[in-house]
Structure 1
Amino acid sequence: MMVVFDPEIEHRVMVCVTPQKSCERLIKRGAERARECNGQFVVIYVNKKQALNKDLKDHKILLELFELAKKLGGTVSILTGEEVYTTLANFSKENKITHIIVGKSLGSAFDAQKSGEVINPLRSAVEKNGITVEVVD
C-alpha cells in the first residue's frame, strides 16, 4: 500500500510497530522526530501472510496504536509480506522515507532467531539510500 505524503514535505518518518503496548514509545518518538524536522510520520505494521488470522487481542492493541498515531498527527498503514525487513525496505524506498524508527527487541536471542531478525537487515537495505534507522530502547 502506498501512503501519499505531501510532496512539499522533505522529511518523512516511518515508525515500525508490532502488536505490543510497548510500541507506544516508538509512535511518540516518531511524532517527536517529525515535529523536530517539520516532517510527517507514518506508522507501519507488517502482517506476514501466514499470520492473517491474528488473535483478537493483537488486533485490539494495533487499533489502539493506530489511534495514538492519528491523534499525534500521523497516518497508518498495514503491509503484507513474508520477509518483514524486505517489505519495510521496499515501502521506505517507494515513499521516500528519510528516517525509520524501530524498537529494540524485548524478546530473547532465541525469539529473534526463530522469528527472524529485522533491524540489521533493514538497516543494511536502507542506509545505502541515505535513510537513517533509529533503534529505540
Structure 2
Amino acid sequence: MYLNSIRNILVCVTQQKTCERLIMEASNIKGNYGGELHVIHVAKNEWKFLDNVKEGEALEYLFRVSKSVGAKLSVLKSDDIVNTILEYINDNDINFIVVGKSKEMHKENNFIKTLENNITNVEICIV
C-alpha cells in the first residue's frame, strides 16, 4: 500500500448522486494522509448529459459535494474514457484512485482491470 506517500487522490464518478459515497471516502483518506483531492467524470462525446435533467442534476449535486470537501470536479468529454483518465493521472501527479465497483462482468470490458493494467505506482481503492 502506498498510503504513507499519498500525494494526490482522484475519484472517478459517473453521473449518479450515489457517487457521493466515493467522494466522501476519498475525503476521509485525504484527511488521514493529506494530498489534493480531484474528482473526474468523463463523458463520451455523443452523451448529451446536460440535456438529461436527472443526469444534469446529479452532476450539479456531485459538484456541490466535491466543493464541500475541497475538491475540484472536472467533467471531460472523450470517446476514450480510460486514456483520458490516464492522462489526467499523469498531468496531476495522482497516485491514489477511488472508484466504485464495476458492474461490467467480463474481464476484458472491466474498467477497473483496464486501469490497473495501464498504471504503475498508483493504488486503486474500490468502494
Question: Counterpart in 2 of 1:131?
Answer: 122
Query: Does residue 1:35 correspond to 2:28, yes or no?
Result: no
Displacement of 1:108 after TM fit?
6.0
1:50 counterpart SS class: coil
- Contact 1:84/1:118, CA 8 A, preserved across alignment: no
Aligned runs of 1:21-100 on 2, under 5 Å?
21-51=17-47, 53-54=48-49, 55-100=52-97
Give distance in 1, aligned partners of 2:99 and 2:104: 17
Cα RMSD for the two superposed structures: 1.9
Query: Does residue 1:15 correspond to 2:6, yes or no?
Result: no
- Contact 1:85/1:119, CA 8 A, preserved across alignment: no
How many residues align? The count is 120
Letter in 2 for 1:60: E
Displacement of 1:88 after TM fit?
0.7
| Runs of at least 5 residues in structure 1 that lack an aligned partner in the other structure | 1-9
| Runs of at least 5 residues in structure 2 that lack an aligned partner in the other structure | 1-5
- Contact 2:104/2:110, CA 8 A, preserved across alignment: no
Displacement of 1:109 after TM fit?
3.1
Per-residue displacement from partner, 1:25-82 (whole Å, max 9, x unpaired)?
Answer: 100011111111111101100011111x121210100110110010011111111211
Question: Counterpart in 2 of 1:118?
Answer: 111
Letter in 2 for 1:44: I
Give distance in 2, aligned partners of 1:100 and 1:38: 14
